Structure 1
Amino acid sequence: MTKAVKKKENKGFFKFIKWFWLLFAMGILSVLMLFLLASWGVLGPLPTYESLENPQTNLASQIISSDGELLGKFYLDDNRTDVSYEDLPENLVNALIASEDVRFYDHSGIDARGTLRALFFLGKRGGASTITQQLARQIYVGPRSRSKFETIKQKTKEWVIATQLERRYTKEEIIKMYLNIYDFGNNADGIRSASRIYFGKEPKNLKIEESAMLVGMLQNSSLYNPLRREELTWKKRNTVLGQLAKYGYISEAEKDSLQALEINLNYNPESHRDGIATYFRMYLQGFMNDWIKKNPKPALEGERDKWNLYLDGLRIYTTVDSRMQQNAEDATAEHMERLQSVFFSQITPQDKTAPFIDLEPEEIDGIMERAIKTSDRWRKMKAAGKSEEEIRESFTKKTEMSVFDWKSDAHEKDTIMTPLDSIRYYKSFLRTAMMSMEPQTGHVKAWVGGVDYRHFQYDNVYQGARQVGSTFKPFVYAAAIDQLRLSPCDTLPDTQYCIEANKHGNPEPWCPKNTDGTYSGKSYTLKNALANSKNSVTAQLIDMVGPKSVVNIVNNLGLDRDIPAVPSIALGTHDFNVYEVVGAYGAFANQGVYVKPVMVTRIEDKNGTVLYEYIPETKDVLSKDVAYAMVNLMEGVTESGSGMRLRHSSMKNSKVYKEVVTGYPYEFKNPIAGKTGTTQNQSDGWFMGMVPNLVTGVWVGGEERSIHFKTTTYGQGAAMALPIWGLYMKKNYENEELGISDGEFPKPDDLSIQIDCDKIKEEAAKKVDTDDDLDDLDF
């Protein structure tokens, strides 16, 4: 080889080396310039210092029960509740690191080795995104673009933001933020929601295989969805378990054992229509919206000046006890399913107007017309600009739909019917309401507004008001005892009683009949008269004290509607809701002090700052003597009146009890005060039941007053409503931790009203020569 050739070759080699290093330097400079441009915001805006210090994520507001359980959440798109790093199980953190970023604790946001590997193998041996980069993308960058140029810009911004995050947060904080921000699908935003929805538990209680499944979903929660692609999710979970074994977090034997397990989901969907206390949560939504209007947010610059119930992560502490709430819902469902079956059995092919009773065709048409015009279908089509003719036509076309059905799984079945038929179908179902309250504090412990919120969204506890029937009578008795100093042992005759026209504002004579239309002619003690719900005695009492006195008392007890001061109110002709009546009865159990029912005790922001604390609203309405006398009167209802079935099993073989009264015999031994109520035509059935530290009211009836049982056999409050109370209290007493009282009602030390009727009877006997004069006294 000549020197010239060799020199030429060396020159070419050095030229190649020069260009190589020049290109390499230009590549390095280009990357550096790319980073600089990204950090200067040329490639798009970067998060501010403040937003890096306080990254904004949408947080659902939590509804927390009095026993510390999560009842539900308020959210729009993001069902997210943050969990602290300390509440993350070690196996979850290990699975995340082993699967996503094994050198997480060694890098400062960018894994150089992983990046070079990804570049060299073009991503075929794994990506290079660190946990910090993934967090940056979730919070600040957004989903990947399909454009290569945009992808490069996004990736560069991820790197810049990742290094900034690493400077401002600890590794533990980054892990916590990442797991809290990720969307696991099915309304499972963040690790806490995912843990509760997929496995029915808090994150700290996750097992290794459960943590592995959730970590596997981090790669693509839509693809690795256990509800849609169980086998694929199972394989991905096992890959994560393999990574745990590869890096020494678990042994090979543990890996093999865990990989053999099936995915054992405990799916608990979280939505506004699922879970417990759904009706209460919807009442609470209105309460919170009102509170937000009256309480502006002390906002920082650039923030909203109003609290947002769905984004600000408020913590709402309620009085509802999750255990008692579950007992209430279970008791309601058990009884209403059986009662509905009996109700359907009374409808025969000859009942052309069913479920309506005793209505003319034009009256039924009027009811259906109102239902059509207040339906969601009418409202939505009207808003869409459809003509009335088009809307009405749509109500007569058969369509596929899911409807409520007691006998189907999850109480729902798929069927085909016209929307008009579905309206009539839904009207055939009996409705119910139940509220339970601690009388000393006013704390509402359970709230059931209907049989199923998904299909019946009208809350009968608070929205619904119906005639209360005989449950109003105790207020008449309370007025008489308070103003006339009567005793439960005083007597009045059971005879036809009329209040003449123009007395007490009555335009015509008022002569109420007893329920069965008969009169014994005997004298009844007030205790037995109330126990047997004698209208004749109640009429005499309201005549003695006057309707205005009764109205004043009930207004002070929270029944502050515009009640006409006429004698007929004594029989419960006015409408009230369960919320009001329970609050009023609470004063009897609370020694005459009315405490307004309360559902929210405290509201905090996401940082735990207290924004609201409840101040009890109380009012002294009755003396302790009068309140205790009323309790004594109502104890008679469960001892010898319409509520005695709570104690005795003498009717357990009767047809009505076998068909309707779930859980009978109850055989309660403890003191119980109560009152049943049944309105005209059996349209409404009520039962109010009290023990010293719990007052509970139950109502059952049709949506329309014309939807009812044909006879009092099934249509009375003792058959419709009382069984729910009995079942509920049996379940409560089975859990001693609830502390439901089974003792005596507290008796005033200086009781001035005589309640011992046997003692009065003995004294009366000494004043007469024979017992004949006492034969007419029904003690």
Structure 2
Amino acid sequence: MAQKPNNQSKSTPVVKDIKYYQKKFWKLFFYGLGSVFLFFLFASWGFFGKMPSFEDLENPNSNLATEIISSDGVTLGKFYNENRTAIKFKDLPKSLVDALVSTEDERFYEHSGIDARRTFGAAAKLGSNGGASTITQQLAKLLFHGEGSRFPLFRLVQKAKEWIIAVRLERQYTKNEIIALYFNQVDFVNGAVGIRSAAKVYFNKEPRDLNVEESAMLVGMLTNPSLFNPVRRPEKAMKRRNIVLGQLVRNHHLEESAKKMLEKKPIVLNFHPESHLDGTATYFREYLRDYMKNWVKENKKPDGEEYDIYGDGLKIYTTIDSKIQEHAEEAVAAHMKNLQEEFWIQQKQNKNAPFVNITPEETDKIIKQAMKNSERWRVLKDDDKTDEEIIASFSKKTKMTVFTWNGERDTVMTPLDSIRYYKHFLQAGLMSMEPQTGQVKAWVGGINYKYFQYDHVGQGARQVGSTFKPFVYATAIEQLGMSPCDTLLDAPFMIRKGRHHVTEDWEPRNSDQKYRGMMTLKRALANSVNIISAKLIDKTGPEAVVELTHKLGVTSEIPVQPSIALGAVDITVEDMVAAYSTFANQGVYIKPQFISRIEDKNGAVIYEPVPESHDVLNKDVTFAVIKLLEGVTEGGSGERLRTESGGAGDIRWTGYPYVFKNPIAGKTGTSQNQSDGWFIGMVPNLVTGVWVGCEDRSAHFKSITYGQGATAALPIWGYFMKKCYEDPDLQISKDEFERPDGFNIKVDCWTPTKQVEKDSTDIEEQNPEEFGL
């Protein structure tokens, strides 16, 4: 009995120790649990870095590209920092969604942002079988905090933030919306950010048109887009694609037999990397970009900030018709390739090619200016090189890729030689416009935007030659009450010094030095007779012609001189097409429109332009001008539009057989020394202007045979319209121009039998000094 108290005294410390450790354990457990709770709470409050707000989650900043859309719904191009265009879940094919869920997150539809089973499994295996991030967690990382740091503590903080954001995303969005957001965010390399860009770049398709194997390839890239890049590593991409196909079988979205068949297929790409330098309507897109830079300053967001055309995901709906644009680009390429070949042949005997009738000093000045305008000069100047060092570098041979009409070619030449090489190339500009609405349907600013970035439609004003003459005739009809059937004498004529601001006596001449006696205005314009145009402007005065031309929308400065009657004026293709469209629109000028509306990324219309228009001429006068211009294609310089060959003179290539039977009003034009060739042609619902010439006016054909507008520019119009007429969906009119009610001006007075003259009666053989300028 005496020992019992001793036994109890011995056991008391043991019991005390157990309770002590139990208390310690639970204390540490609850402290640890509390710490974890506080850690996540503090992370959610932003103690470890800013967390997205409700508004951020509602409108995640995804740096969306601005999309340029044609009037028929085709994407022409984009403005972007990242080539990303958002789409909705309904636009995703089932095969793509199934492939993503089967490969990246099999229990996606069961969890609420975090897959506990995968998380604990990954933790137990220390991540040896890969990570445990769900699609929602991956989206959270893409949207809000990137890759993060390599330090364990920072990685732990980021993982906590990722979990919190993932849970919030699950509360904010449906599962389908999360999948769409995810596909819109991921980078597929090669300039393709988001699934829409990826489908376009790799397969030239919309996402909804992707088949099973294409969907599997794109989903397979997500693990490591660079490693599984199908352009650079097709074998690795194919193996990864087949793994995704296996996951589709595992998740009962694909039969085993189908998988065995599909995994044998090679990856077939239709690779179309999207670039600002390539694609459709490149010159128009650049013109639009410049326009939008000013637009954002004048049309701001509700909060006063400027729109970002590279990241705000705007949709610019343009008036360009993708099919008409395609036909225009084809027409320019087809004709210019032939014309350029002839130009090379003729320049072989020219020691100063491609320049004609200029001194070596003038040539040297042109080349030096081109050197100073080059990218090479700018880069070397930024490197603090002296002018002498830079000039010397232009004489050192270097490897380069040059443009040819048969594709790009790698070669070795000096930069100086490359300047002269590119000076040989003939350029072109084409714009097509609907006269009743002002909507621009096609815009081709040059032959290749990658190599020649100067826009010859809206940027470059060139001498218009005889295409200016209808403005003189219209003034005479309006102010003097003349008609196309009135006659004037084609005979030597002089405007004396002092009359109409002429500083010296001016005696205009027809280029062939021939005179034909009395001529109707219709025949005179059809054959572009200089004497008749000069006599008309002498009657109206140059002031009246200048005033009318400006009312027709021409913005160029026009000298108040009689010589403008022969086309000694520089005007853009854009302005000339708009001016001629006024005749086709019964005297109402409408400023060219190339935007129909602009929407923000949510589809809200933020801009809808109001057409600018004003009355210029009455309907009777404009219809009389139309009948004058129809004479040009019935028996004048545009007659070849009606012929089988479309060729002219000794042209070595056959031309293009148009054989148009419908009414066409048009006018050719040729400037001094054949530096510029023009044709502007009209049917009731489409007016199209074409210009052709070299960048430098000193580079041109030696003879009128090839340099005139009827040879250089008219075939492009003919080819273009032939293509348009072959496409019935475009509904290009073949009808007659509308005759005004009560029209009583005499217009049917001349039945042409043949082309009396080539379009060589412009100013090409006259010197500016003769004009008294």
| TM-score, shorter chain, exceeding 0.5 | yes
Cα displacement (A) at 1:515 = 2.6
Distance (Å, rounded) in 1 between the aligned partners of 2:650 and 2:239: 57
Cross-structure match for 1:769? none
Which residue of structure 1 aligns with residue 754 of structure 2?
A: none
Equivalent runs, 1:347-496 vs 2, <5 Å: 347-348=347-348, 350-408=349-407, 412-496=408-492
SS at match of 1:235: helix
| Contact in 1 for aligned 2:641/2:718 (Cα 8 Å) | yes
2:31 and 2:267 map into 1 onto residues whose CA distance is: 52
- For normalisation by structure 1, the TM-score amounts to 0.91
Letter in 2 for 1:606: K
Residue 74 of structure 1 deviates from its aligned partner by 0.9
Superposition deviation, residue 51 in structure 1: 1.5
Give the equivalent residue in structure 2 for 1:55: 60
Contact 2:67/2:315 (<8 A) preserved: yes
Structure 1 unaligned residues grouped into runs of 5+ = 1-6, 760-779
Q: 2:645 touches 2:654 (CA, 8 Å); kept in 1?
A: no
Q: Do 1:660 and 1:719's aligned partners in 2 also have CA atoms closer than 8 Å?
A: no
* Paired residue type of 2:693: G
User: 1:100·1:130 contact (CA, 8 Å) conserved in 2?
Assistant: yes
List aligned pairs for 1:437-586, cutoff 5 A. 437-519=433-515, 521-586=516-581
Does the CA contact (< 8 Å) of 1:72 and 1:281 recur in 2?
Answer: yes
Is the 1:671–1:742 contact (alpha carbons within 8 Å) kept by the matching residues of 2?
yes
Q: Say which SS state the counterpart of residue 310 (structure 1) adopts.
A: coil
User: Per-residue deviation at 1:653?
Assistant: 9.0
Q: Is the partner of 2:500 in helix, strand or coil?
A: coil
Report SS of the residue matched to 2:68: strand
- 1:723 equivalent to 2:720? Answer no
CA deviations on 1:77-114 (whole Å, 9 max, x unpaired) are x1111101111111111111001001001001111111
Per the alignment, residue 186 of structure 2 pairs with 182
Q: Which of 211, 217, 221 is residue 221 of structure 2 equivalent to?
A: 217
- Corresponding residue to 2:689 among 697, 700, 704: 697
**Structure 1 residues 674, 651: CA separation in 2 closer, same or farther (over 3 Å shift)?**
closer
The equivalent position to 1:621 in structure 2, one of 608, 616, 625, is 616
CA apart distance, 1:370: 1.3
User: Which whole-Å CA distance do the structure 2 matches of 1:334 and 1:223 have between them?
Assistant: 41
C-alpha contact (below 8 Å) 1:468/1:684 kept by paired residues:
yes
Name the SS of the counterpart of 1:336 in structure 2.
helix
Instruction: Compute the displacement of 1:25 (Å).
Output: 7.5
Match of 1:591? 586
What is the CA distance between 1:478 and its match in structure 2?
0.8
1:283 to 287, 290, 296: 287
Q: Distance in 2 between matches of 1:186 and 1:632?
A: 55
- Give 3-state SS (helix, strand or coil) of 1:659's partner: coil
User: Could you say which residue in structure 2 is the equivalent of 1:332?
Assistant: 332
Q: Give 1:754's aligned residue.
A: 746
**CA deviation after TM superposition for structure 1 residue 650, in Å:** 6.0
Aligned to 2:699: 707
CA contact (8 A) 1:547 1:567 kept: yes
Contact 2:646 2:715 in 1 (8 A): no
Letter in 2 for 1:690: M
Paired positions, count: 739
Q: Provide the C-alpha distance between the structure 1 equivalents of 2:654 and 2:462, rounded to a whole number of angstroms.
A: 23
Contact preservation (8 Å) 1:338, 1:660: no
The aligned amino acid for 2:151 is S
Matching residue of 1:129: 133
- Give me the whole-angstrom Cα distance separating, in 1, the residues matched to 2:429 and 2:488: 35
Q: 1:758 to 1:373 in 2, by over 3 A?
A: closer
Shift of 1:682: 0.7
CA–CA separation in structure 2 for the residues paired with 1:693 and 1:583: 13
Offset of 1:139 from its aligned partner? 0.9
The 3 A distance-change label for structure 1 pair 654 and 684 is closer
Q: What's the counterpart of residue 65 of structure 1?
A: 70
1:112 maps to a residue whose letter is: A
State the 1:361 CA deviation: 0.6
- Do structure 1's residue 735 and structure 2's residue 734 form an aligned pair? no
Post-superposition shift, 1:700? 0.3
Q: What SS does structure 2 have at the residue aligned with 1:192?
A: helix
Say if 1:80 and 1:190, in contact at 8 Å, map to a contact too. Answer: yes
Q: State how far apart, in whole Å, the 2-side matches of 1:743 and 1:338 are.
A: 32
**Helix, strand or coil at the partner of 2:450:** coil
1:665 to 2:657 alignment? yes
Counterpart contact for 1:497–1:536, Cα < 8 Å: yes
Please give the per-residue CA displacement for 1:567-596, whole angstroms capped at 9, x wherever unaligned.
Answer: 100000010010000000001111111111
Residue 33 (structure 1) shift: 5.1
Q: CA deviation at 1:758?
A: 6.0
Residue type of the alignment partner of 1:35: F
Identify which range, 19-28 or 747-756, moves more after superposition: 19-28
Code of the residue aligned with 1:291 in structure 2: it is W
1:380 deviation in Å? 2.8
The within-5 A match list for 1:79-94 is 79-94=83-98
| Alignment partners' CA distance in 2, 1:137 and 1:285 | 32
Which moves more between the two structures, 87-96 or 449-458?
87-96
Q: Is contact 1:682–1:711 with CA below 8 Å preserved after alignment?
A: yes
Cα distance in 2 for partners of 1:423, 1:357 equals 17
Conservation of the 8 A alpha-carbon contact between 2:640 and 2:647:
no
How far did 1:31 drift? Answer: 4.8
Q: Structure 1: how far apart are the matches of 2:244 and 2:417? A: 52
Partner of 2:166: 162
Identify the range of structure 1 (525-534 vs 391-400) with the bigger mean alpha-carbon deviation.
Answer: 391-400
Q: Cα distance, 1:20 vs. partner?
A: 9.4
Deviation at 1:32, TM superposition (A): 4.5
More moved, 573-582 vs 141-150:
141-150
Compared with structure 1, are the counterparts of its residues 150 and 398 closer, same or farther at alpha carbon in structure 2 (3 Å cutoff)?
farther
* 1:319 pairs with 2:319: yes
Q: Deviations over 1:341-389 (max 9, x none)?
A: 11001112x4221111111110011111211222222223323333223
User: Which residue is 2:757 aligned to?
Assistant: none
Q: Aligned partners of 1:653, 1:493: CA distance in 2, in Å?
A: 29
The residue that corresponds to 1:687 in the other structure is 679
The whole-number CA distance in structure 1 between the counterparts of 2:59 and 2:285 is: 30
Which residue does the alignment assign to 2:760? Answer: none
Q: Which residue is 2:771 aligned to?
A: none
Counterparts of 2:417 and 2:183, CA distance in 1? 48
8 Å contact kept, 2:465–2:568: yes
Distance 2:413 2:118 in 1: 60
Q: Which residue of 1 aligns with 2:758?
A: none
Measured in 1, the distance between the counterparts of 2:482 and 2:607 equals: 44
Q: RMSD in angstroms over aligned alpha carbons?
A: 2.4
Following superposition, the deviation at residue 652 of structure 1 comes to: 5.3
**Partner of residue 254, structure 2:** 250
Cα displacement string for residues 649-677 of structure 1 (whole angstroms, at most 9, x for unaligned residues): 26659641x5273xx11111111111101
CA contact (8 A) 1:339 1:660 kept: no
Aligned residues of 1:335 and 1:660 also touching (Cα < 8 A): no
Contact 2:648 2:705 in 1 (8 A): no
Distance 1:556 1:291 in 2: 25
Distance 1:291 1:269 in 2: 28
Aligned-partner residue type, residue 430 of structure 1: L
What are the Cα deviations for residues 690-717 of structure 1, in whole angstroms up to 9, with x where unaligned?
Answer: 0000000000001111100011111111
Secondary structure of 1:757's partner? coil
* One-letter amino acid of the structure 2 residue matched with residue 52 of structure 1: L
Give deviations 1:620-677, integer Å, cap 9, x for gaps: 1111111111111111111111111111126659641x5273xx11111111111101
